[in-house]
Chain A
Amino acid sequence: MGYLRGFLVTFAQMGKRRVVTTEYPKEKRPKAVRLHGRHVLNRYEDGMEKCIGCELCAGVCPARCIYVRGADNPPDDPVSPGERYGFIYEINYLRCIHCDLCVEACPTEAITETKLFEFSFTNRNDAIYTRTELLVGDDGKPQELPWEDWRKGEDEHTSAWMRATSPSGSAEFVGRVAWAGELGYGVREPERGQLFDVAKDSVAGQDDPERRAKSAAAARHTPEGDQPGHGTGGSALPTPEGDTGADR
């Protein structure tokens, strides 16, 4: 009677109102903190632009969607603290594949990705975001453009992916602050992921392999919202070497 049990399974679902889908345009699912959305051009805490117009992002871009031209800073009114600044900065979102290679290539953490990706432009010109559109506003948050769909809180975590990757990919630097402050946020906490917790637990429970395996599994299955280090006011957890994250 295995055939008939299947009918019971579907019948039992009726009228339960246990809906697993989201009514998308009306409500949205929470987005992953490190989601690769559209870019922002960051500024230092004093309002100076981080971009120095080096074109490394344009060079590394596999989709060739970034167009940058640098120019010398005007001596009386410098745009960036360095010698040069991004004079023209354009990203074509009809080509961008959101791989975040530009974020990794950037030497000054000028370009990072937000979680915003829901935009619907009606012409190709709107798809090309210019420097003025990409720059963060005076509060350090991305500017809302008329064709973008925003909900409350979606403009936070503008640089989570950048803060999660260690410089030059070295595991020793995971969780260390190696970046400058951002306008509106100050120096932000490292974006800590599951790997960090597994490492910490394995140090603590080295003599008990069973517990270690369990905690590692638990860390892997932690719900997205419970991960430490996502909140802006999260406690500074010790790095594997034992030092705090703020010894820059």
Chain B
Amino acid sequence: MTGGDPLFADGLDLAVVLIVIGKTVITFTFLLVSVLLMVWFERKLVGDMQNRIGPNRAGPFGVLQTLADGIKLFFKEDLLPDRADRRIFRLAPYLSLVPAFVTFSVVPIGGVFTGGRDGTVEIFGRDTYLQLADPPVGVLVILACSSIAVYGVMLAGWSSGSKYPLLGSVRASAQMVSYEAALGLSVVAVVLASGSLSTHDMVLVQAGAGRNDFVPNWNLIVTGVVPFIVFLIAGTAELNRPPFDLVEAEQELVGGFHTEYSSIRFALFFLAEFMGTVTLSAIIVTLFLGGPSGPLLFGPDWVWGPVWFFAKLFVFLFVFVWFRATLPRFRYDQLMDLGWKLLIPLSLGWLLLIAALRIGNDRGWNSFVVAGVGALVLLVAGSVLSASVRTAMRRRQLGEVTSL
């Protein structure tokens, strides 16, 4: 394990500061450009899946459509509702935008991890990681930021001083708080497998040779797929993307939390949503698919880190758009049922199973027996849980009948 970014090992001087500033600018630019392309990609792909054409007016294949929309939004009138809480109303868009950006700063986007190398690259004679920051608690930064993003949505709806945004923000807080738990529990499984909270170390561990030197040592496989699926679903809910976009729900809540927002503030929410999508995809790639690690094929070594990273990133961007094109929106109670009655127990049970297997490994117990006993315990717990849920439901129905 390495002890943080080697860039800061020899103390701070001008070159180090300049490199950090350069990295910040590049990261920010990358995110903005990727949002620009992501919005276009989503509209084009959803259009294709729905037998439409999608944007095709601005620029070749309509690539510049997002830019045109942004310019339009920039020049529109900025409305501030009379009954809005002015200060919070102005603050909310930034509260949802900044976390999306901060989260991305801990994602490693390049570097050579194979062949015993630890992912450092040399920029202007200095060794450094290809990520903006590598705090020892990288995963906690990710979780903290995704929690703060809730406030952006919640305060936006609350401060608008209007009915629909308030409904949207009430939904947002309930939805995001309940899915935060499943998200966190599935991340704990990853942390358990990697043995570190630093995102760089996670990539390093995953870059090592897996079973039979053939299967990659990705957390996706090491943790047994279930945490990955839970993370994907809970992450979609955190992002408020379809099928979990109850917060916006055009058909029911007009625009949900951003009903009263217009002009540049609405653009910030829009930007935050898509930046969040890109960021979450990057996090999934880092946590479960080994980030920028991958085989070096030909040419200079440093090319392949970003290439693998973007290839993996693209898969998830596609998957999120695919979700949007395929799945209809959940009903509110279905959303809560899925979160509390399925995802949280599942991720918790799986975490216990992985922990038991780890302990068994350390003590030298037979892993098959451990797995069998663990599965049996989980099965019993699961059936008890479902029985209690069913009993509660029957009670409620009975109560409804008698109250009539």
Contact = CB atoms under 8 A, between A and B. Distances in A.
Contacts of A23: 53, 56
Contacts of B327: 6
Given A10-B326, A13-B50, 12 more contacts: A7-B322, A10-B322, A10-B325, A11-B322, A13-B51, A14-B45, A14-B49, A15-B48, A18-B51, A19-B53, A20-B52, A23-B53
Contacts of A6: 326-327
Interface of A: 6-7, 9-11, 13-16, 18-21, 23
Given A6-B327, A7-B322, A7-B326, A20 B51 contact: yes
Given A19-B53, A21-B53, A23-B53, A13 B48 contact: yes
A19 B52 contact: yes
B309 to A, nearest CB: 24
A20 to B, nearest CB: 5
Contacts of A18: 51
B322 A16 contact: no
B51 A19 contact: yes
Sort A-B residue pairs by CB-CB distance and give the 8 closest, nearest first: A10-B326, A10-B49, A20-B51, A10-B325, A13-B49, A21-B52, A6-B326, A7-B326
22 contacts: A6-B326, A7-B322, A9-B326, A10-B49, A10-B322, A10-B325, A11-B49, A11-B322, A13-B49, A13-B51, A14-B48, A14-B49, A16-B51, A19-B51, A19-B53, A20-B51, A20-B52, A21-B51, A21-B52, A21-B53, A23-B53, A23-B56
A232 to B, nearest CB: 35
Interface residues of B, number: 12
Secondary structure of the A side of the interface? loop
For A7, A9, A16, the residue with the greatest tally of chain B CB atoms inside 10 Å of its CB is A7
A13 B52 CA distance: 10
Contacts of B56: 23
Contacts of A9: 326
Contacts of A21: 51-53
Nearest to A13: B49
Contacts of A20: 51-52
A13 B322 CA distance: 11
A13 B327 CA distance: 15
Interface string B324-337: 01110000000000
Contacts of A19: 51-53
A23 B62 CA distance: 14
Contacts of B322: 7, 10-11
A19 B56 CA distance: 13
Contacts of B49: 10-11, 13-14
B330 to A, nearest CB: 12
Contacts of A14: 45, 48-49
A209 B65 CA distance: 58
Nearest to A20: B51
A23 B48 CA distance: 14
Contacts of B52: 19-21
A33 to B, nearest CB: 27
Interface string B25-58: 0000000000000000000010011111100100
Interface string B302-331: 000000000000000000001001110000
Contacts of B325: 10
Nearest to B52: A21
Interface string B43-85: 0010011111100100000000000000000000000000000
Contacts of A13: 48-51
A111 to B, nearest CB: 39
B252 to A, nearest CB: 22
A213 to B, nearest CB: 33
Nearest to B324: A10
Contacts of A16: 51
Contacts of B53: 19, 21, 23
A27 B302 CA distance: 49
